[in-house]
Amino acid sequence: MANLHIDFQNKVGRVKPMHSVNNGPIVPQAHSFGNFEDYAAAGFPMARTHDASFTPAYGGPHTVDIIAIFPDFDADENDPASYDFDLTDEYMENILASGTQVFYRLGNRIEHESKRYGALPPKDYAKWARICEHIIRHMNEGWARGHHYGIRYWEIWNEPDVNPQCWDGPVEDFYPLYDIAARHLKKCFPELMIGGPAGCSISSRWFLDGFFQYITRDPEDPAPLDFFSFHHYGREADDFARDAKAARELTDRYGYTDTELILNEWNYVRSWTREDLLTSYYTIVGLKGSAYVASSVLTAQHSPLDHFMYYHASYSVKWNGLFDAYSQKPLKSYYPLKAFGELYRLGTEVLSESDTHEVYAAAAVSADEGEAAVLLSYYLDHPSIDGTGTEDKTLALTLDWEGFSSENGAEAEYCVLDAGRNMDVVSRETFLGSRGGHILGLPLYTTVLVRLKKR
């Protein structure tokens, strides 16, 4: 018998925005059903705009990327006529209308084709920085018939350590691009969060050590790094805690002790071999993928990470475990992110203690202590896609809590995500006093949300 204990009077910190995503909602169009209502209902805190140009419903190749907005690099960067903002503006407005904030990636999409365009290093780094400046001024200050969106986070490039798909040049040539752009943008917009470099892995030390050494080459005048962003694709939820710890140690070593840590691409990958990659795609859209999502966000909550962004929410088939490619209806992995949003809304995390490594959990309480919730998931990387096998993988779990009570008692509502249910309410019970609990039978890859409310 496994045990999970919650103490609602032992407040341990804030619930962090661990349920953000890459890319925004899709409004209904002629050949698309759209997912706007479900996207908005999930309450994603932020949407990173990387790879938006893969999705026709966002505007396709005319959206977000520098080469889409400023297609002729030889044009005058100070002339509004040199820019094409129309479809990107529509995309920004749809994201913001859903209640999600924009996390804007300055750069271009990954290019797997035999010839690259956006992955080529800019011909003039200072001019590239000024182009970025004008994009920000358009989005936030009304420049060029622009807007006042209030976009706070601006990321310089994506995965420059992936060569040549994201940076088609010597990797050390990226370092001055970041240095020049970050200094220029921070000087123009000291109130904004400027950072990067969105490395493909915290393990890319051959790239990261060179990057940090370059931007801190003058210890008296290091380049701005308001946030350090990096990625991870894997199969074990615990890897995110390991990576976050390594990122904190790395940034601290170079003097960036106040820099936020943002892991803004992640998903399930068994391995990068062709066979395992196909298995991974099937996993991502199924029940095992949902348990991986749940256990990952719960691990991230207990790590040094400040933000965590699933890749991704657009409707392309690969890497999207949130919405069906054809109907745009929610898939299994949508529900853990939405459930974590309930903890995020409550605001304050409380102590949760599991004596079983394979049960991941977090709990939260509202400011007035009238509401609370527990989110838990049973995950391990079983060899099969759906977790079936000859052995019985059902876990008996005792869930008990203390410190949540009122004179009239309280109610508990149990919601289950499993093979046949999508966070459906399966039972309700009333309890008196400050203690409560339940014995749960958890088949492998089950996720449970318990809502508590005082009567």
Mean pLDDT of all residues in 72-93: 98
**Residue 5 falls within a domain, yes or no?**
no
In the prediction, which pLDDT does 73 show? 98
Mean pLDDT of all residues in 151-163: 98
In the prediction, which pLDDT does 385 show? 61
Instruction: Give helix 287-301 / helix 239-253 axis angle, nearest 10°.
Output: 40
In the prediction, which pLDDT does 391 show? 56
224, 105: one domain = yes
- In the predicted model, is pLDDT for residue 7 greater than 90? yes
117 falls in which pLDDT band (50, 70, 90)? very high
Taking all residues of the chain, what is their mean pLDDT, rounded to a whole number? 95
251, 153: one domain = yes
In the prediction, which pLDDT does 274 show? 92
Structure tokens at 62: 């005319």
Mean pLDDT of all residues in 256-269: 98
CA 362 to CA 5: how far, in whole Å?
10
339, 441: one domain = no
Mean pLDDT of all residues in 157-173: 97
333 and 293 Cβ atoms separated by less than 8 Å: yes
194, 232: one domain = yes
How do residues 197-227 score in pLDDT, each as one tens digit? 999 999 999 999 999 999 999 999 999 999 9
**Residue 134 falls within a domain, yes or no?**
yes
- In the predicted model, is pLDDT for residue 49 greater than 90? yes
- In the predicted model, is pLDDT for residue 168 greater than 80? yes
253, 133: one domain = yes
CA 443 to CA 439: how far, in whole Å?
13
330, 449: one domain = no
CA 46 to CA 394: how far, in whole Å?
35
- In the predicted model, is pLDDT for residue 383 greater than 90? no
31 falls in which pLDDT band (50, 70, 90)? confident
In the prediction, which pLDDT does 438 show? 87
In the prediction, which pLDDT does 54 show? 94
R_g over Cα of the chain? 23
In the prediction, which pLDDT does 433 show? 81
Write out the residue range of the structural domain in which residue 296 sits: 15-346
**Residue 8 falls within a domain, yes or no?**
no
How do residues 291-318 score in pLDDT, each as one tens digit? 999 999 999 999 999 999 999 999 776 8
**Residue 4 falls within a domain, yes or no?**
no
**Residue 242 falls within a domain, yes or no?**
yes
- In the predicted model, is pLDDT for residue 369 greater than 60? yes
253, 239: one domain = yes
Share of the chain above pLDDT 90, in %: 91
Domain edge (last residue) among 279, 312, 346: 346
Domain edge (last residue) among 298, 331, 346: 346
In the prediction, which pLDDT does 394 show? 93
**Residue 378 falls within a domain, yes or no?**
yes
**Residue 2 falls within a domain, yes or no?**
no
Mean pLDDT of all residues in 64-85: 98
E-strand stretches of 81-190: 101-106, 153-156
Mean pLDDT of all residues in 333-352: 98
CA 6 to CA 8: how far, in whole Å?
6
In the prediction, which pLDDT does 384 show? 67
264, 358: one domain = no
Domain edge (last residue) among 282, 313, 346: 346
204, 168: one domain = yes
313, 190: one domain = yes
> What CATH number does the domain containing 69 carry?
3.20.20.80
In the prediction, which pLDDT does 390 show? 46
- In the predicted model, is pLDDT for residue 393 greater than 90? no
Q: How many CB atoms lie within 10 A of CB 187?
A: 12
Share of the chain above pLDDT 70, in %: 98
**How many distinct structural domains can be found in the chain?**
2
407, 311: one domain = no
338, 363: one domain = no
**Residue 9 falls within a domain, yes or no?**
no
Q: Which of 194, 316, 203, 206 is nearest to 262 (CA)?
A: 194
Mean pLDDT of all residues in 449-454: 96
